[in-house]
A = this chain, B = another copy of it.
Amino acid sequence: MKGKLYGVGVGPGDPELITIKAKRIMESAQCIAVPKTSEGKESLALSIARDTVRMNGEIMELVFPMTPDAAILAASWDNAANAICRKLDGGLDVAFLTLGDPTVYSTYAYIHNAVEKMGYEALIIPGIPSFCACAARAGVSLGENNEKIAVIPYAYEPDVLSEVMEKFDSVVLMKVSGNLEKVREILAVKWPGAEIALVSRCGLPGERIYRSLGQVGDGETGYFSTMIIKKGGAA
């Protein structure tokens, strides 16, 4: 009998934000697939789960380089999917660990589709997405009543913020650190009454929470930075 693939969300950083189900699946899987960006580095998803979850399966490291080169990316996904399918063929259940939630900007989406297409069963175990954890840490609400929420990966099209703010009450900017100056500019000109919460390394060592853009020094926040903007203030 073939094994099953589980895409398991380990949440944004705090090991206690792992769900009971994610813990159970990771503890019973015979193979733990862990994504990393390069050979030498430790997998962040694995390091979050390691002390809280008693994993018994063999660890299979999968390298997904951080590159804009579509061919290199596609090759890394194919390699990973094939490696996983060989384990499934051997009857092993595979838990693929992923930061946050597997359906929110995760490499797992590609693996899921590829493995399913090859005829295997693949299931998604949700995790706390980073933006919910950031909102919680900052004590702000993402949406109430009839408020509309936009989630924007903010490394691609920074000008879009202005237009999105017209229609949405709350805007979540993922991976915002490279474009803080742009946010500052758009808010100052058009939305001076907006309130922000910026959380860097939420639930990880070195976590920082900012409630004003004036507090943020250049280069102070890193890759794992999420901003929540409440148009009407009262964030």
A residues sitting closer than 8 Å to B (CB atoms) are: 9, 11, 14-21, 23-24, 52, 101-106, 109-110, 112, 116, 122-129, 132-133, 135-137, 139-153, 155-157, 160, 163-164, 167-168
Q: From DSSP, what is the main secondary structure of chain A's interface residues?
A: mixed
CB-nearest residue of chain B relative to A15? B20
A148 near B153 with CB under 8 A, answer yes
Ordered by A's residue number, 5 sampled pairs between the chains whose C-beta atoms are within 8 Å are A15-B20, A18-B20, A20-B20, A105-B143, A124-B135
A152 to B143, CA, bound (A): 9
A109 to B147, CA, bound (A): 13
B136 near A124 with CB under 8 A, answer yes
Instruction: Give the oligomeric copy count.
Output: 2
A92 to B152, CA, bound (A): 40
Given A133-B126, A141-B103, A143-B105: A20 and B23 interface contact (C-beta under 8 Å): yes
Residues of B within 8 A of A18 (CB): 19-20
For the complex of A and B, list the 6 residue pairs with the smallest distance between their C-beta atoms, beginning with the closest.
A16-B21, A124-B136, A109-B141, A103-B135, A149-B151, A146-B156
A17 near B20 with CB under 8 A, answer yes
Q: Which of B17, B122, B143, B152 contacts A153 (CB 8 A)?
A: B143
B136 near A132 with CB under 8 A, answer no
